[in-house]
Amino acid sequence: MLYATLVEVSQRVAATSKRTEKVSLIADLLAQVPPGPGAVEAIVGLLVGEPRQGRVGVGWATLQGVWAATPAASTPSVMIDEVDGTLARLAGISGEGSQSERERVLAVLLARLTTAEQQHLARVIGGELRQGANDAMVADALARAAGVDPRALRRAAMLLGDLGAAGARALRGESLAVGLTPGVGVQPMLASPAGSVADALAEVGAASVEWKLDGARVQVHRRDDEVRVFTRSLRDISARVPEVVSAVLAVPSQRFVLDGEALGLDADGNPLKFQDSMSSDSVLRPSSSTCCT
């Protein structure tokens, strides 16, 4: 599929304020996705402005500089898988000379894109895509394109930690009955607001309340001797929090998922203020309020 096709749909989605029309436009596009590994995931990432590669190492200043120096192509010719492949290359560049190599790779792609395509890609890379189509809307569009229950698709996306992966399953006609799997990051379940404490208790039933220690929200997975620590955005930070990993390995169980706060502590073992916990000098440790699934 041409990248220009996706860009045109993105423009049409941005031009309407009607949610039903946005969902319909995206669903029509997704129904045309050709089979192939990673195709749906790549398109979903470009639609919501979050490439499946995550951060690709190109800052806004670098992006603007290369973009300004690269004339646009006159006609569309670039396929979506080529854009996805270039983003993967950018994310994988490291070491000496990486900055200039990223600029070179980005310039090669931008030179083949039309003005509209350049603008869309720049907004995706820069995290500035504004088209009024969030994850929930794209999830509904995926469900419509695949002919599945939107609730089942959203649940699968949460447990897989990846809307694109859940959408790919749905469009291939595969089961969405997935479960919690240690090692696979889960999208966070967010709290729902209530008008009062009484209203909240009436909705959830019996509940216990404890002080919340404010630190870094982490999700920890253990599968035998393998431990992975994810941030709220599902970035793997295992190598940066050895104290958390050690604490998890000390638990007398082999397969589990934990969700809670990691805190910085002072010399007496008291929790630091949030801003101090988040400083680069702080050593994060699991708090006692972490709960187990």
Amino acid at 229: V
CA dihedral 141, 144, 149, 155 (to 10 degrees): -20
**Phi and psi, residue 285, nearest 5°:** -130, 155
Q: What is the CA radius of gyration of the chain?
A: 22
212 tagged catalytic: yes
Q: Which residues sit opposite 218 in a β-bridge? A: 231, 260
> CB within 8 A of 122, min separation 6: which ones?
63, 64, 67, 128
Q: Which residues sit opposite 79 in a β-bridge? A: 2
Annotated catalytic residue, options 18, 22, 212, 273: 212
Burial group, residue 94, by CB count within 10 angstroms (0-12, 13-18, 19+):
exposed
- Catalogue the long-range contacts made by 49-52 (C-beta closer than 8 Å, 24 or more residues apart): 49/123, 49/124, 49/127, 49/128, 49/129, 49/131, 51/84, 51/87, 51/124, 51/125, 52/84, 52/162, 52/164
Q: Take residue 23 and report the two structure tokens written for it.
A: 């969902």
**Phi and psi, residue 113, nearest 5°:** -100, 150
Residues designated as active site: 212
